[in-house]
Amino acid sequence: MPELPEVEVVRAGLAPAVTGATVAGVEVRDPRALKRHVPIGGSASDGGHGVTLETAEGVRRAADFERRVTGLRLLAPQRRGKFLWVPIEGGSEQALLAHLGMSGQMLLRALDAPDDRFVRIRLWIEHPEHGEMRLDFADQRLFGSLALDSLIADGGEPASLPAQASHIARDPLDPLFDDAVFVASLRRRGTAVKRALLDQTLLSGVGNIYADEALWAARIHPETAGSALSERKAFGLLAELRAVFAKALAEGGTSFDEQYVNVNGQAGYFAHSLNAYGRTGETCPRCGEPIRRIQFGGRSSHFCPRCQRRR
């Protein structure tokens, strides 16, 4: 699943093209990609799994989205954790919300470009400087979605956060992220530190890849309890997490296959810089011990048994 760096790469790529652009037209090819969109007078029922263009609900949801999004003027894209949204100009207090799920892609294409695979929703946009182009939402596995969502108050910033993202905490790259509050909360937890890093109510944007990489860099075993960390160690882990994010952003995110791409369809290269994640049996770059993999709540954790001893 795309994590913070991959979503931030997409946000930065979209910004020049969509900021100030007007949506000239919308085509919903697969209403299942609108599972989080709530039509006027309705609800996003059944998660979209049974919604197709042949069903009444599919027709209704697609028509509502096409009608309400066409003609909107878009502002600068925003992000929190893995959520990406484009606020709407004109005091409507709404935003076009995107969640990439496991394989979602936001692709900028010329009007006459050939179709990419698995395009579910297409927007035609007109920018005063860059002209006309397509913005395609493609998603092979259909865990992602687009939606028109209401903006709600976020601390001292009124109508700035999509309602569907209100349950998640700020991410470590957010200027308003409170380091001291995070460290104190982490050190009160008796659960494994890896589990805490994946808790989007504690901090957002961290998934399996970057949790493993930050823990390796901080020399912390993934099953160490948060309460067992010293304050210095917890602050050090946060610093390593930010460093891993920065390096991943510089390399365009982590791509293991064609599903993780930027808005131009290009893959990131951070997979070549991984020290622990996905390197089971390979030698630790720091000490030479083979990297181990253990099961973790239906996922896997990768760590060095010598550098990251459990305390």
What CATH number does residue 221 fall under? Answer: 1.10.8.50
299 is catalytic: yes
Per the structure, the count of domains in the chain is: 2
Boundary (domain end) residue, out of 165, 198, 218: 165
Q: What would the mean pLDDT of 153-175 be, rounded to a whole number?
A: 89
Q: Among 32, 35, 36, 82, which one carries the catalytic annotation?
A: 82
Q: Which residues are annotated as a binding site for DNA?
A: 141, 189
Do 105 and 188 belong to one domain?
Answer: no
Contact assessment for residue 5 and residue 242, using Cβ atoms and an 8 Å cutoff: no
> Which structural domain, as residue segments, surrounds residue 124?
4-165
DSSP state of 144: -
Is the confidence at residue 293, as pLDDT, over 60?
A: yes
Higher-pLDDT residue of 45 and 264 is 264
Same domain for 189 and 156, yes or no, is no
Active-site residue flag, 57: no
Q: What is the pLDDT of residues 177-187, one digit of tens each?
A: 999 999 999 99
Instruction: Quickly state the pLDDT bin for 249 (edges 50, 70, 90).
Output: confident
| 269 occurs within a structural domain | yes
| Cα 276 from Cα 306, distance rounded (Å) | 13
Known binding-site residue numbers? 141, 189
Selected catalytic residue, list 2, 5, 31, 39: 2
Residue 220 has pLDDT above 50, yes or no: yes
Asked if residues 64 and 38 have their Cβ atoms less than 8 Å apart, the reply is no
Helix then strand then coil, in percent of the chain rounded to 5, is: 30, 25, 45
Judgement on whether residues 23 and 149 belong to the same structural domain of the protein: yes
pLDDT for 269: 43
Task: Kindly tell me if the per-residue pLDDT of 270 is higher than 60.
Answer: no
Q: How confident is the model at residue 311 (pLDDT cuts 50, 70, 90)?
A: confident
Tell me the pLDDT tens digit for each residue of 74-130: 999 999 988 899 999 987 799 999 998 888 889 999 999 999 999 999 999 999 999
Judge whether 209 lies within some domain.
Answer: yes
Residue 3 annotated to the active site: yes
Q: SS3 of 228, please?
A: helix
* Catalytic residue status for 222: no
Does position 46 have pLDDT exceeding 90, yes or no? no
Residue 174 domain-assigned (yes or no): no
Higher pLDDT, 212 or 57: 212
In the set 258, 289, 290, 299, the catalytic residue is: 299
Q: What is the mean pLDDT of residues 270-287?
A: 88
pLDDT at 267 over 70: no
User: How many Å apart are CA 136 and CA 310, to the nearest integer?
Assistant: 46
pTM value > 0.85 = yes
